[in-house]
Amino acid sequence: MEREDGLAQGRKLVAGARRVAVLTGAGISAESGLATFRDSGGLWENHRVEDVATPQAFARDPVLVWEFYNARRRAGAQARPNPGHLALAALEQRKESVVIITQNVDGLHQKAGSTRVVELHGNIWRARCARCGRAAADLPVEVPFLSYCASCPGLLRPDIVWFGEALAPRDLEAAAAALQDCGLFMVVGTSAQVQPAASFAFAAVGRGVGVIEVNKEETPLSSLVSVSLRGEAGEVLPALLFV
Ligand code: BV8
Ligand code: ZN
């Protein structure tokens, strides 16, 4: 579909919706300078992310896992919301509700001003005790190796959902409610490979509600959605939402 036609069709869907749900992935933070999962080929320092972002990796080598997260916390500390995050935050002024369901752990949607954000995979700025679950607050950007819980001998771990770990029921429920309630579902910057996050986008297609995808490249969703816009989120979202 021609870009202009796609934008025109997308703008119509946006204009006609009162309640919007948006699934975002690493692609929306790429223009804030944060590497996506795929662009780095799913690698970090020659480790496959799936081999580092797991409870087994943390049990085996907690220092390696904290090196991985400290590297991302260092990068995240420099990152600012980009026009894509800001356009989604500004949309709240014009809609009854905008719920962001994000796979990202960088906190940039909240920094941009979005007030309803479901963090399906946790948040890189939070840590918790691996043993008793107690949250650890005010940690430095680089968490010292090895930090321990204030209440028990447990090690602190990033408050992140790792591969093989279940997502929090309350987040799954919030995402499902937003999916059921919305009149428009948008999918931005995700390769739609990670489950169960991607399932919300496929369920939106199944629900028959309008679905707009914004992505730099084709994904398994592209042929199924109402409108698939190819391009960078920081450029397409403002054109889609505010022109
Ligand atoms: C669970 C925290 C069960 C970590 C993350 C085989 C088949 C299907 C599923 C599985 C399978 N084997 C295992 C599974 C399940 C597994 C899974 O989905 N694996 C995948 C790899 C196949 N899922 C799980 O393990 C989940 N848990 O299933 O538990 C269970 C149930 C009950 C009890 C016990 C257990 C947990 C998944 C959560 C993993 N944690 N994040 C961290 O971030 O450190 S997921 C991780 O991947 C990140 O969140 C990241 O967001 C995500 C990658 O996905 P994307 O966000 O889509 O990023 P990606 O780079 O892939 O794509 C970016 C896209 O943007 C690209 O298309 C690119 O073209 C585009 N783009 C780039 N720049 C831009 C852009 N678009 C627009 N503008 C730009 N500028
Ligand atoms: Zn503890």
Q: Is 58 in the pocket of ligand 1 (CB under 6 A)?
A: no
Write down the mean pLDDT value for the chain.
95
- For 138-153, the pLDDT digits (tens) are 899 999 999 999 999 9
Same domain, 89 and 145: no
- For 45-84, the pLDDT digits (tens) are 788 888 899 999 999 999 999 999 999 999 999 999 999 9
Domain that holds residue 175: 1-34+81-121+167-243
Report pLDDT for 49: 84
**CA distance linking residue 44 with residue 21, whole number of Å:** 31
Task: Compute, in angstroms, the gap from residue 158 CA to the centroid of ligand 2.
Answer: 13
Report pLDDT for 132: 98
Task: Compute, in angstroms, the gap from residue 192 CA to the centroid of ligand 1.
Answer: 7
DSSP 84: H
- Is the confidence at residue 1, as pLDDT, over 70? no
Report pLDDT for 137: 84
**CA distance linking residue 29 with residue 133, whole number of Å:** 28
**CA distance linking residue 84 with residue 189, whole number of Å:** 10
DSSP reduced 3-state for 156: strand
DSSP reduced 3-state for 83: helix
The model's pTM is 0.96
Same domain, 185 and 236: yes
DSSP 155: B
- CATH value at residue 49: 3.30.1600.10
Told to judge if 47 belongs to the known catalytic residues of this protein, a careful annotator would answer no
- CATH value at residue 109: 3.40.50.1220
Q: Is 70 in the pocket of ligand 1 (CB under 6 A)?
A: no
